[in-house]
Amino acid sequence: MSVIIDQDREGLPRDGYAVIGDWGTSRLRLFRVEQGVVTARRDGPGIGAVGGAAALALAEIIAPWLTDGPPRCITLCGMVGARDGWVEVPYADCPADAPTWRQVAATFDWRGVPVRIMAGLACEGADGVPDVMRGEETQIFGACLHDPALGQGRHMIVLPGTHNKWSLLEDGRVTAFHTVPTGELFALLRDRSTLAAKVEAPDPAEEALGFAEGLDKAGVVQLFHSLFATRSMRLRAGRSPDWALGYLSGLLIGCEVAEMRATLGEAAHVVLIGDKALSMRYARAFGAQGIATRLLDGDACARAGLGYGGGDGA
């Protein structure tokens, strides 16, 4: 797979190759970049799985590339910079813009190769509750490179995943963000509750029907009122387990979107960054509430954020 990164080419080395990557808790996505173009990709284990042996694991993953010599530089983001990662990198405090954030990165030498691990972001809510992210900030600042219009005005950036990050971007600064563990909640209710039944491969049409009904409910009521219908509609109204999965997803996402819009305040523009299928669910939930969204590819945003902050050009 070859992906053109069409901006900030001067941020990447013109000789040899650079290695950039997003190393999260559960997976590593590593890219080889030559003259601004991704020429190879390798996936590896999450930082949570390699214990204290991050350097060893990385050496193994990039071994095939080393036949061309060592990379000019390695730039990483994500939980690789956490306490249990490779090297602990402090958080940049919000509000933070890209230059402020880049300054906090940790740089060190590894086998003669300059390594840079990007910082996470920390913020404190109006109610004093602290929050942190590691990895998503790279996608957010990368999105600003994708689309310079994001650098001005107020934008809501939502990164759906296991722990969703709802972020406010104001004139290029991340002013606030909020973690919402809807993905984890959904997985628990799907896999371990009495509400849903096990379905190996849900029928897409049934699932879509349930999803739409869950979204509808979320517009009228809130979570507690309609959660049990996941079960009761199966047992008493002939709905299928496939329908129930979709309903649960639609209800949770719809309620989350309604509540977070009310809590964070509206923004002129909503941008979704991440996995396409999950982002599409959020786009539909926003759409059902009359809000237009734009989708950006999570990997592309991460690469842009890393290229901008990375190696020779930073």
Cα–Cα distance for residue pair 78/48, rounded to 1 Å? 11
Q: Please, what sign has the CA dihedral across residues 152, 154, 160, 161?
A: positive
Query: Could you tell me the end-to-end alpha-carbon distance of the chain, in angstroms, rounded to an integer?
Result: 26
Looking at the Cβ atoms of 224 and 292, the one nearer to its own copies is 224
Among 2, 15, 224, 290, binds its own copies (CB under 8 A): 224
Extract the tokens encoding 300.
């592309």
- Cβ 237 to its own copies shortest distance, Å: 5
Q: Build a one-symbol-per-residue string for 114-133: x at contacts with its own copies by CB under 8 A, - elsewhere.
A: --------x----xxxxxx-
- Cβ 7 to its own copies shortest distance, Å: 33
Looking at the Cβ atoms of 12 and 121, the one nearer to its own copies is 121
SS3 92: strand
Residue 188: phi and psi, rounded to 5, are: -65, -45
Cα–Cα distance for residue pair 249/215, rounded to 1 Å? 8
Looking at the Cβ atoms of 75 and 230, the one nearer to its own copies is 230
Looking at the Cβ atoms of 52 and 130, the one nearer to its own copies is 130
26: contact with its own copies by CB under 8 A: no
Applying CB under 8 A, which part among 64-72, 92-100, 216-224, 266-274 lies near its own copies? 216-224
Count the alpha carbons within 13 Å of 271 in the hemisphere toward its beta carbon.
Answer: 23
Using an 8 Å Cβ cutoff, are 144 and 33 in contact? no
Cα–Cα distance for residue pair 183/313, rounded to 1 Å? 36
198: contact with its own copies by CB under 8 A: no
Looking at the Cβ atoms of 210 and 311, the one nearer to its own copies is 210
268: contact with its own copies by CB under 8 A: no
Vertex 79 angle, CA 188 and 75, to 5° = 140
Subset of 168-197 contacting its own copies (CB under 8 A): 178-182, 184-185, 188-189, 192-195
Cα–Cα distance for residue pair 73/75, rounded to 1 Å? 7
Looking at the Cβ atoms of 20 and 251, the one nearer to its own copies is 251
Looking at the Cβ atoms of 198 and 236, the one nearer to its own copies is 236
Applying CB under 8 A, which part among 9-17, 61-69, 135-143, 221-229 lies near its own copies? 221-229
What ranges in 193-275 are assigned the alpha helix state H?
204-220, 223-227, 229-237, 241-264
236: contact with its own copies by CB under 8 A: yes
- Cβ 180 to its own copies shortest distance, Å: 5
266: contact with its own copies by CB under 8 A: no
Extract the tokens encoding 109.
């030498």
Using an 8 Å Cβ cutoff, are 182 and 278 in contact? no
Using an 8 Å Cβ cutoff, are 165 and 179 in contact? yes
Among 259, 280, 313, 314, binds its own copies (CB under 8 A): 259
Interface residues with its own copies (CB under 8 A)?
Answer: 122, 127-132, 163, 178-182, 184-185, 188-189, 192-195, 217, 220-229, 231-233, 235-237, 255-256, 259-260, 262-263
